[in-house]
Amino acid sequence: MDRRKFIAAGLAGSAIGCGRSRSPWRFFTVEEARTVEAVCAQIIPEDQDPGGRQAGVAVFIDRQLTRFYKPLQKTYRQGIADIDRESLRLAGHPFAELDAAAQLDVLRRFEGNPDLKPFFDMLVAHAMQGFYGDPRHGGNRERASWKMLGVASPPVRGRA
Amino acid sequence: MKRVNAVVVGAGAGGGIVAKELAQAGLSVVLLERGKWYTAFDCRKDDLRNQRTSALGNAFGPDDERNPRVAVDLKGRARLVRASGPGYSNNAACVGGGTLSYGAMAWRYMEKDFRMRSTYGQVPGSTLADWPISYDDLEPYYEKAEWEMGVSGDDSGNPFRGPRRKPLPMPPLAPNREFEILEPAARRLGLHPFHIPMLRNSVPYGGRGPCMRCRWCVGFACEVNAKNGTQNTVIPAAMLTGNCELRTGCMTRQILTDARGRVTGVEYFDAHDRLRRVDADIVVVSSAAVESARLLLNSTSPLFPRGLGNRYDWVGRNLQGHSYTGAFGIMPEAIYDDLGPGASIAVSDYNHGNAGLAGGAMLANEFIRLPYQFVGMLPPDVPKWGQAHKDFMRSYYRRAIAVQGPTQEMPMFEARVEVDPAVRDFWGIPVARLSGDKHPHTMEIGNVMAAKAEAWLKEAGAVRTWKRLAGPGLTAGQHQAGTCRMGDDPKTSVVNRYCQVHDIDNLFVIDGSVHVTNGGFNPVLTIMANAYRASDYLVKGWNGTRYR
């Protein structure tokens, strides 16, 4: 990209940013991100070690949805809406506003529903990638999971 | 475009060796490779994007967008699959092929592996057969592969291996913790453990340094270039002769034939997607079992309406790979030592001679596990997410050992590669369509092997064990083989014992496709040895202007 195109792209990007919900996310709306972060905090809970939320698992998913997982954008938009809809139906509030026990209950029911399970399974797989995978992709912040497992992180030579 | 003596399609384990042998014998060679030429700097250590874990894509190809395939499931439903996804049976597409990023186990098949039919008789529903060549025919070429490519290890403690005239050129790497735990346990069980032979430098060899024992091994290009693939051994040697031109980014569309039924060259799309042609006296297909079969089937003409070598409908048949089964064990304390490549110890006691079974597998400890890889290996009763999952990861990641092995598959006529009638790739070439199943006896053998692995881990002191079994369905993948079977009878095979297509004198298939059966071992050293052997024949039959 040359300099002129770079500036133009930046202007276009900020124009969209101002016009819409000012989401700091690449793909998610602020509301969607809130739901995804809450789900990831249940998939990998925080305890003496950081959980999915602290490790930035939602950042990983958000970033990949503009890259390798781009074909899954629609599936995610629908799936996140389904989680909040089920949450409202079962517990009267959007998912992120429930307490931990109610969230677990919603997720277990969600997982038990054959129509919704495929999305949930995929979300679990992506959360594991974001938590245990390489920090360069946006997750595993501060190498949280590698520290938890006691795996050293030597430097990468060459084009990291 | 100038005419050359030989064009080799595919710069992997087989093609790289053929190109080098022919170029050194003075033939002019064009080596076509659809992928790129990567180097040690392309290691990247990306645990989500490599050839072992392709959650975010393949590091070394093929590219997802341009190279779809069709996979037919056991219910007969066809679906489009992408190169980094399940069902594709991928092998890397790059200079070196799988050998750039493999785990690099360097097994010789055993004598019985070449005589499966004679040893076990007919297995109903399987096309199990003997090879037309024996271990003894291949032995000098195994040795050549070991010494030219560079193999470390020590199989002198393996009483089941075939005879060898020379030891391996390099000593094994120092034992890791798993070796120290599993070795005495195997002896207590009356087994015969030994150091796995590996195409990996343990000491400086071939102008390159030794392994630095890092954990980014299988699935990655070696950061210090200590893994010996064709990309850093024979292919540079081929180019140094001045007789071999390597063309990367070149996707071969079809093999061309003349009115007399001989091949005259190939047509391919170059790196800028322009259609090109190279005329050659001989054509060698070395694109691995799926793509080699696809190329032969796509090369139709009035004389060969069903594709080349396919007069009797054997091209693409007997697609096989390896069904891996084994077990995991949790040790009483942390045993993770962060020493690559991890895989270090093997037994060959169960390859043959198992009561009631037509074969078996080598069992070895698994390559070192990256954290994300362990996620998919937990026992079936551990929840897939939540606190219990995290607890298990935290408690046992450093305490787990895996032992597993590649079951020698019973080949199936109906496990096959065809070309899809509708789906085409980026260049408009009909794609491979994969269908078929595992033979039930393959599953049976795999289950027994898993029990043996579990017993070994228990003897080693594992406080908890669980099996890893194989489900039904095709297994081809990196160990893909069998689709252009070698045989003496043109009616039941595609190439003769010299890898020459039965009814086309100047067309050869030299890769895992020609394997009649695929051994209970990683197949690469056999692909290499056979490539040296077939090249030898080719060079001897070359009279200066044409083949024979």
What is B4-37+91-412+438-540's CATH number? Answer: 3.50.50.60
Are B360 and B352 in contact by the 8 Å Cβ rule? The answer is yes
Average pLDDT over residues A7-17: 45
Whether A3 has a pLDDT exceeding 60, the answer reads no
Within an 8 Å CB–CB cutoff, is residue A137 touching chain B? yes
Whether A9 has a pLDDT exceeding 60, the answer reads no
| B41–A42 CB contact, under 8 Å | no
Per-residue pLDDT tens for A82-115? 999 999 999 999 999 999 999 999 999 999 999 9
Whole-number mean pLDDT of chain B? 97
Whether B2 has a pLDDT exceeding 90, the answer reads no
Average pLDDT over residues B211-231: 96
Integer CA distances (angstroms), A18 to A10, A24, A27, A30, in order: 12, 11, 15, 14
Are B430 and B420 in contact by the 8 Å Cβ rule? The answer is yes
The pLDDT value recorded for residue B544 is: 76
| A44–B389 CB contact, under 8 Å | yes
| B338–A151 CB contact, under 8 Å | yes
Whether A7 has a pLDDT exceeding 80, the answer reads no
Report d(CA B471, CA B457) in Å as an integer.
22
Give contacts of A152 with chain B, Cβ < 8 Å: 338
Per-residue pLDDT tens for B393-433? 999 999 999 999 999 999 999 999 999 999 999 999 999 99
CB-nearest to A158 from B43, B387, B397 is B43
How sure is the predictor about B59, in pLDDT bands with cuts at 50, 70 and 90? very high
Per-residue pLDDT tens for B157-196? 999 999 999 999 999 999 999 999 999 999 999 999 999 9
Report d(CA B217, CA B211) in Å as an integer.
10
| A158–B223 CB contact, under 8 Å | yes
Distance from CA of B502 to the nearest CA of A (A): 44
Instruction: Say what angle helices B13-24 and B524-540 make with each other, to 10 degrees.
Output: 30
Nearest CA in chain A to B224: A157
Distance from CA of A18 to the nearest CA of B (A): 31
φ/ψ of residue A48, rounded to 5: -65, -15
| A134–B375 CB contact, under 8 Å | no
Whether A158 has a pLDDT exceeding 80, the answer reads no
Per-residue pLDDT tens for B27-53? 999 999 999 999 988 999 999 999 999
SS (H, E, C) B317-350: CCCECCEEEEEEEECCCCCCCCCCCCCCEEECCC
Average pLDDT over residues A117-123: 98
Look up residue B13 and give its amino acid: A
The pLDDT value recorded for residue A21 is: 58
Give contacts of A49 with chain B, Cβ < 8 Å: 390, 394
CB-nearest to A159 from B44, B336, B338 is B44
Within an 8 Å CB–CB cutoff, is residue A147 touching chain B? no
Are B288 and B512 in contact by the 8 Å Cβ rule? The answer is yes
Q: In chain B, pLDDT over 90 holds for what percent of residues? A: 98
Mutate to test the interface with A, among B81, B390, B394 (most CBs of A within 10 A): B390
Report d(CA B160, CA B458) in Å as an integer.
24
Q: Which two tokens stand for residue B465?
A: 């064990």
The pLDDT value recorded for residue B264 is: 97
Within an 8 Å CB–CB cutoff, is residue A1 touching chain B? no
B221 torsion bin: left (phi>0), alpha (psi -120 to 50), beta (else): beta
- Paired strand residues for B363: B347
Domain coordinates in residue numbering, chain B? 4-37+91-412+438-540
Distance from CA of B413 to the nearest CA of A (A): 34
DSSP B500: B
Whole-number mean pLDDT of chain A? 88
Whether A14 has a pLDDT exceeding 60, the answer reads no
The pLDDT value recorded for residue B193 is: 98
Average pLDDT over residues B457-481: 96
| B48–A128 CB contact, under 8 Å | no
Whether B337 has a pLDDT exceeding 60, the answer reads yes
Q: Which two tokens stand for residue B213?
A: 């024992």
Domain coordinates in residue numbering, chain A? 34-140
**How many residues are present in chain B?**
548
Q: Which two tokens stand for residue B195?
A: 């150091």
Are B454 and B327 in contact by the 8 Å Cβ rule? The answer is yes
Chain B residues contacting A, CB < 8 Å? 40-48, 55-57, 214, 223, 334, 336, 338, 371-372, 374-375, 384-387, 389-390, 393-394, 397-398
The pLDDT value recorded for residue A19 is: 43
Q: What is the largest CA-CA distance in chain B?
A: 71
Distance from CA of B172 to the nearest CA of A (A): 25
How sure is the predictor about B75, in pLDDT bands with cuts at 50, 70 and 90? very high
How sure is the predictor about A45, in pLDDT bands with cuts at 50, 70 and 90? very high
Mutate to test the interface with B, among A53, A66, A136 (most CBs of B within 10 A): A136
Q: Which two tokens stand for residue B252?
A: 């071969």
| B44–A44 CB contact, under 8 Å | no
> Within 10 A of A121 (CB to CB), how many other CB atoms are there?
13
Within an 8 Å CB–CB cutoff, is residue A127 touching chain B? yes
Per-residue pLDDT tens for B83-119? 999 999 999 999 999 999 999 999 999 999 999 999 9
Are B530 and B113 in contact by the 8 Å Cβ rule? The answer is no
φ/ψ of residue B508, rounded to 5: -125, 150
Report d(CA B300, CA B279) in Å as an integer.
17
Per-residue pLDDT tens for B266-288? 999 999 999 999 999 999 999 99
Give contacts of B44 with chain A, Cβ < 8 Å: 156, 158-160
Average pLDDT over residues B229-237: 98
Whether A32 has a pLDDT exceeding 90, the answer reads yes
Nearest CA in chain B to A40: B386
Q: Which two tokens stand for residue A45?
A: 């809970």
Q: Which two tokens stand for residue A57?
A: 């698992």
